[in-house]
Amino acid sequence: MLPYKSIEAAAAQLGRNLTYAETLWFNYSAEKSDGVLACHNILFVCLIFSVVPLPFVFIQLLRSPFFEKHKIQPKIQTPAAEIFNCYKDVMLNLLFVVGPLQLVSYPSVKAVGIHTGLPLPSVGEIAAQLLVYFVVEDYTTYWMHRFLHCKWGYEKIHKVHHHYTSPIAFAAPYLHWAEILILGIASFLGPAMVPGHVVTFWLWFVLRQMEALETHSGYALHSTFPLLSISS
């Protein structure tokens, strides 16, 4: 919760007028606790995993020749009913595993120094922190993924993720609960090392999940639509 009674008080503390973005942030967050703001990630994750995969699903169901030539497994088509079942299972996982995890992990978010106050970070600061987050997460996830593909890790945990042998975007978060915890550590490690504003924290999780969805979409669209891949 912001420690200011009014925009004027915030401006006096900063020694300048608030920017337009900071005014919007003040109006939205002034009466919300830090815990409530941090847990917005639950809403963002559910929204991203519900909306972002839809274009890829429509492309698959339409079977347009233009997009089919970019399909990684062109001879395999996942039925619409199976795609819907995947989405349903993923949403249950997000609500009953990721949601509670976000709630119980809030003390860690607070402890590492992720903050909600003013001023808001600059674009350059956000970009630099996101760069660190992506590098740290990519390196950490690589080794965790190697572990999950060893005999014990695969049989006990990771084989759940490979339930769908043909990639579909909705299957990106189709994971064993233990793998959600493991990959959650990799995603949180960067913000823990270089903590920033909660808006950067939100943006990081949104971009990371969008990258995962594109990677699992089943289409190699990088050369045709390079902006569809954050990592390309």
Q: Where are the domains of the chain?
A: 32-228
Mean pLDDT in the chain? 89
CA distance 68 to 220: 10
Q: Does position 150 have pLDDT exceeding 60, yes or no?
A: yes
Quickly list H helices, 40-176: 40-51, 54-62, 65-68, 80-93, 99-104, 106-112, 123-148, 151-156
What are 162-201's pLDDT values in tens digits?
Answer: 998 888 899 999 999 999 999 999 999 999 999 999 999 9
DSSP characters for 6-26?
A: SHHHHHHHHTSPPPHHHHHHH
Half-sphere exposure of 131 (CA within 13 A, CB side): 6
- Contacts of range 72-76, beta carbons closer than 8 Å, 24 or more positions apart: 72/167, 72/218, 72/219, 72/220, 73/166, 73/167, 73/218, 76/165, 76/166
| pLDDT band with cut points at 50, 70 and 90 for residue 102 | confident
Contact 56, 229 (CB under 8 A): no
Three-state DSSP state, 219: strand
3-state helix, strand, coil in the chain (%, to 5): 70, 0, 30
- What is residue 222's predicted lDDT score, i.e. its pLDDT? 59
Contact 228, 66 (CB under 8 A): no
Q: pTM of the predicted model, to two decimals? A: 0.87
Quote the percentage of the chain above a pLDDT of 70. Answer: 94
- What is residue 134's predicted lDDT score, i.e. its pLDDT? 96
Q: Does position 114 have pLDDT exceeding 90, yes or no?
A: yes
CA distance 188 to 180: 12
